[in-house]
Amino acid sequence: MQCTQSYCVMLEVPGHHRIIIPCMEIIRFYFGSSSSLISQLFLPPLIRETLFTNASLDYKSGRLKIELAERMSGASAADIGRISMEPMAWRAAQHIGVSCLKASTTQQAIHPQALFPFEGRTNLVASGKWLSFGDQLKATFLVYNLRSCAHPFPFNSLRYELKGARALRPKSPQSTESSDAHPQRVKHSAMDSRDQPLVEQDSSNKLAPKLKTFKTELRFLDLKHKTIWKNKTLSTASGSASFQTSQQSVDFAAVGEPGAERRVRPVDLALVTTTNAINSDAIPTFLREIVADLQSVQNIEIELLTESQHDGWSVPISLLANEDGEINPQLMIVDTHGTSRMRRASVFAFKRDVEHVCAVAIESSPVHVKIYTTTGETSGEVRDTLRCAAVDFLRGSTSDLETSSLSELIHWVFDV
C-alpha cells in the first residue's frame, strides 16, 4: 500500500474489476483464531512441533486426530488441522515469519507477506470500499475485513488433545456453597487487577496462564456441520488440590511465551464462534443428573472424552454412521422445537491405578448408560466404544442404571 509499503494480494474478477486484500488481513482471518497460534507464526523458523504432534487422518472416514503443542489454544484446532494436512496451508504459515526475517536481514521495513492456505476456488464475503480508477468509478474493491470463506477443510471431523490440561470439577446443577458437601480445598490463582492492560513484555513463568475469549460470527462455513471435540479432565484421583495463594494482584498481562520473573500474567486471546460459544455451566439436560451424581465419586480420575465445541459435553451420534453415511432412524430424536435431529452421546472415562473403564451416556428418556472395559491407550478406542454403545442402544439393551446410580456402579467396579 502506498502509505506504508506493506504487501497486499490482488485478485482479478470479471468485469475488469480487482479486489485488493492487505496481507495482514489474510493473516488475521485465516490464522488469527488465537494469540498462541499467531505468535508462533511470527517466530521463524516455524517447525511443526511448535503447533502440533501426532496428526493422523483416516482417509476413508475423513476423521482427523491431532495433539496440539503445549500452550496451544483449542480455538485454533481447526486451523492447525488444516495446516497439518494441507501442504499449501503449511507453506502459508511458514511464509509469514520467513518474509519478516528476509526483510530484517536486508535492512528493509518489516511487513509480512501472506498466502491463502489452500488452492482452488472459494466464495469470500468481505466488507470494504470501492475505489475509482480512470473513468471507472468502481474499479477496485479494497477489503477492510474478511467475513467468511467457504473453502472446505481437509477433514470431516476433528478430535484434538491439549498438552498440560488442568483437572477441574464441573459445577453440579444443584451444587451449594456448603463446605461440608465438598471438603477438598480449592485451587486459586493470584487475582488480576481491574482493567488489566496488555503490555509488550515477556510474561511470568510462575503465574498461571488465563484465557480470554472474544465472540465472532462463523468464519468458515465448512465447519458449521463438522464436529470438533477433545478430552477434558473432570476430577483427579485424589479429588483435592492445595497451594498457596498470592494476595498481590497482577497489574499487567501479555501474550506469547512466558519467560520472565516480573508479575505479568500470561494470557491467550481466542476467538469463539457465537454459534459454538460454550457456557461451561450449561450442562445438557440429559446429562445433568449424571454429572451431579459424579460429584460423589472419590479417589478415581474422571475424564470427559467428548468435550465438543457445540455444547462442551457431547458429540452427535452421526459419528457412528456406517460407511455409506446412513443413520438408523432410532438414533434420531425430536427436540423441544419439534425438529428431528441426531441424538447426542457423551463418554466418561474412569481410571484408578491400571484399571480403566468408560461409561457412555446416550440422549434418551431416561438416559441410556452402558459401562465398558477399556484401556485408554489407543486413539480409536473412544470411537469403538461409542459404536458399541450405539449398537447396544439399537438392540434395546437395558441401561446399566436400571437398579443403581452411576457413582455406585463405579465405586463397585473399582472396589472403593
What secondary structure does DSSP assign to 112-168, as a single string?
A: -----SS-S---EEEEEEEEEETTEEEEEEEEEEEEEE-PPPS-SEEEEE-TTPPP-
Asked if residue 172 has pLDDT above 50, the reply is no
Q: Is 276 exposed, middle or buried, given 0-12, 13-18 or 19+ CB atoms closer than 10 A?
A: middle
- Considering 47-51, 57-61, 137-141, 379-383, the range whose residues carry the highest mean pLDDT is 47-51
CA distance 97 to 410: 51
pLDDT at 323: 64
Give me 61's grid cell: 472416514
How far, rounded to the nearest angstrom, does the alpha carbon of residue 157 sit from its chain's CA centroid? 12
Question: Rounded CA gap, 325 and 320, in Å?
Answer: 9
Mean pLDDT of the chain: 85
Nearest to 129 by CA among 118, 120, 139, 119: 139
Q: Among 379, 407, 322, 386, which residue's Cα sits nearest to residue 61? A: 322
Domain boundaries, the chain: 8-149, 278-416
**What percent of the chain is helix, strand and coil (3-state, nearest 5)?**
25, 30, 45
pLDDT band per the 50, 70, 90 thresholds, residue 103:
very high
Cell readout for 92 is 502459508
In the predicted structure, residue 278 carries a pLDDT above the cut 50:
no
The kind and range of the H/E element at 52 are strand 52-58
Q: Which residues pair with 149 in a beta bridge?
A: 124, 220
Please count the residues of the chain.
416
Give the other-Cβ count within 10 Å of 108's Cβ: 10
Per the structure block, which three cell numbers stand in for 222? 465448512
**175-229 pLDDT per residue, tens:** 434 444 444 444 445 788 778 899 988 888 888 888 888 888 999 999 988 989 8
Q: How far apart are CA 54 and CA 360, in angstroms?
A: 26
C-alpha R_g of the chain? 24
User: At residue 170, does pLDDT exceed 70?
Assistant: no
pLDDT, tens digit (0-9, with 9 covering 90-100), for 230-257: 888 777 666 543 334 455 788 899 998 8
Alpha carbons 229 and 303: distance in angstroms, whole number? 13
